[in-house]
Structure 1
Amino acid sequence: MSFRVEPDSSLKDALKDADHSLAGVWVCSASPLIAEICAGAGFDWLFIDAEHSPNDLQNVLAQLQAVRSYPVVPVVRPAVNDPVLIKQYLDLGVQSLIIPMVNDAQQAAAAVAACQYPPKGVRGVGSALARSARWNRIPEYLTRADETITIMVQIEADEAVRNVEEIVATPGVDGIFIGPSDLAASMGVIGQQSHPDVVAAVLKSINAAKAAGKYAGVNAFDQKSAREYMDAGADYVGVGADVALLARATEALAASFSSEAQSKAPQSY
């Protein structure tokens, strides 16, 4: 059996081989059916979110299974930078993680440690019980698991931007993912992801990652912003979400049959 768990391996492998910025879509509905629809849409990666969505371990497992046959890289965000929760997602077979709310190098190092077996880290050993190792059917999984795991840490606070050089220098961190919504809130301009100060912080973080030889991603549901960040060097960009796409499409359809069109929804994400 091949050592790689998922057919297209992890996000860092996809980024290493990419000749363009990778566009991804969030899957927040906790639905394997919707995940499979999104997986076949042509995106490069899927962002299965368990921080702001009703996803749990069983939902995430079902979605990993649903998208496995598609040429797309699944990426999972746990709710918190917690070694127990991270261990459980890794055992499910998650290979690419985005860890939220990492504000300094110490927190980044904790995220890395949670993803690595001792002596390098603190990941609990349960490969005989875990899908990640195919229940010990994958030779040398315990000694080579690190090769299959991508660790992205999320820059989404003003404090994190101030510490971004130290964060991206943390051994084992493959890159960052920037969240302009929380970043805007932390900078006192909540809901204004396009505020010049927020954009400057995003660009600073992208440049810091690139200078350190690490990958940089950003969330940008607005197409103009997404393309501008791609042009600025972002390696991967979250360009939409299943629930947001459904909300906007159903509003537009309803409005086409109604004399009272709904007001435009805010662009916050």
Structure 2
Amino acid sequence: MTLPVIEKARSGELALGTFVFEFATNGIGRLAAHAGAEFVLYDAEHTGWGWETLGRLVATTRAHVPAWIRIPSAFDRTFVSRALDVGASGIMAPMVASAEAAARLVDWAKYPPDGSRGAAFGIAHDDYRSGDTVATMRAANSDTVVICQIETVEGLEAVEEIAAVPGVDVVWVGHFDLTNSMGIPGRFDHPDYLAALDRVAKAAVDTGTIAGFMPTSVEQATDLVGRGYRLLAYHGDLWLYQQALAAGLAAIRSAT
């Protein structure tokens, strides 16, 4: 199910999903899918969720839309292995700062001969089905998405090389961390930040990968699409809930 989303974005069409940070309910992925999300990203970097929780979230999502996990670190093989083995069909890695780091992630995420992912079959990522292991590995290698976050000056300076690594599907701007690293925290109108957005988008186009981002407004999303971003995770669950609730409560108070 992952591949059509990536193929759609790579062909130049817009693919829209969402991030989940807070509501670890069995219905959250299906709610997102029925709302029109084409993928769901579950965050394991800034939450306290364990693998049991993440596995349940992925299991209740993946029959409807692709479920991906943002792992806590790009430097620990076990994070990649566990995210994929609990059933995620893609990983997002934070703070990827070099082509070497990106290549290592791809190696960990892919079975031989494309990588060195540890072999375990008939478990959650296979929906507990047995089958031809060679065919299973080939299908997993084709379907598993690798997203590298560009959120440091070092990563930005290496983005062209990162995007060119075989097996990297998406270069994704982590905007708050990137502006922090650039010394302009939260200055999303700063010309250096805007130039960074364009540099990442160009690197994606030039290498046949995809530029990704988490916009928090329609206006921001529209601007990003104009810059060449084609994989967007619109906002996160807790903020969407809070803003919708605040708007509704304010409207009722105003009307009465």
TM category, shorter: 0.7 to 0.9
**How far, CA to CA, are the matches of 1:253 and 1:134 in structure 2?**
40
Aligned to 2:136, which of 141, 149, 161?
141
**How far, CA to CA, are the matches of 1:120 and 1:41 in structure 2?**
36
**How far, CA to CA, are the matches of 1:138 and 1:148 in structure 2?**
17
* Deviation string, structure 1 residues 133-177 (Cα, Å, up to 9, x no partner): 344524321344211111111111111111111111112212211
Structure 1 gap ranges (5+): 1-6, 260-269
**How far, CA to CA, are the matches of 2:252 and 2:149 in structure 1?**
41
**How far, CA to CA, are the matches of 1:213 and 1:160 in structure 2?**
18
1:108 aligns with 102
1:153 aligns with 148
1:55 and 2:52 aligned:
no
Q: Contact (CA 8 Å) 1:11, 1:75: kept in 2 or not?
A: no
**How far, CA to CA, are the matches of 1:106 and 1:200 in structure 2?**
24
1:76 aligns with 69
Percent sequence identity is 28
Q: Structure 1 residues 136 and 35 mapped into 2: Cα distance closer, same or farther (>3 Å)?
A: closer
Amino acid at match of 2:163: V
Bigger Cα displacement from structure 2, 7-16 vs 183-192: 7-16
Q: Structure 1 residues 108 and 254 mapped into 2: Cα distance closer, same or farther (>3 Å)?
A: same
**How far, CA to CA, are the matches of 1:170 and 1:19 in structure 2?**
20
Bigger Cα displacement from structure 2, 140-149 vs 175-184: 140-149
Amino acid at match of 2:21: C
**How far, CA to CA, are the matches of 1:165 and 1:13 in structure 2?**
20
1:190 and 2:199 aligned:
no
* Deviation string, structure 1 residues 43-74 (Cα, Å, up to 9, x no partner): 2221211111233322222222222343x332
**How far, CA to CA, are the matches of 1:144 and 1:84 in structure 2?**
21
1:234 and 2:234 aligned:
no
What's the secondary structure of 1:127's corresponding residue?
coil
1:251 and 2:254 aligned:
no
**How far, CA to CA, are the matches of 2:59 and 2:114 in structure 1?**
30
TM-score (norm 1): 0.84
- Aligned residues, how many? 250
1:171 and 2:161 aligned:
no
* Deviation string, structure 1 residues 192-212 (Cα, Å, up to 9, x no partner): 233222121011111011111
What's the secondary structure of 2:67's corresponding residue?
strand
Q: Contact (CA 8 Å) 2:121, 2:130: kept in 1 or not?
A: no
1:31 aligns with 25
Amino acid at match of 1:151: V
**How far, CA to CA, are the matches of 1:227 and 1:257 in structure 2?**
30
2:91 aligns with 97
* Deviation string, structure 1 residues 3-35 (Cα, Å, up to 9, x no partner): xxxx4556424435x662112211112222223
Amino acid at match of 2:72: A
Q: Structure 1 residues 211 and 56 mapped into 2: Cα distance closer, same or farther (>3 Å)?
A: same
Q: CA deviation at 1:191?
A: 2.0
Q: Contact (CA 8 Å) 1:8, 1:14: kept in 2 or not?
A: no
What's the secondary structure of 1:245's corresponding residue?
helix
**How far, CA to CA, are the matches of 1:226 and 1:56 in structure 2?**
31
**How far, CA to CA, are the matches of 1:8 and 1:143 in structure 2?**
14
* Deviation string, structure 1 residues 88-146 (Cα, Å, up to 9, x no partner): 11112211221111011111111111112245423211224x22234452432134421
1:201 aligns with 196
**How far, CA to CA, are the matches of 1:232 and 1:90 in structure 2?**
31
Q: Contact (CA 8 Å) 2:59, 2:87: kept in 1 or not?
A: no
**How far, CA to CA, are the matches of 1:143 and 1:68 in structure 2?**
19
Q: What RMSD, in angstroms, separates the aligned Cα atoms of the two structures?
A: 2.2
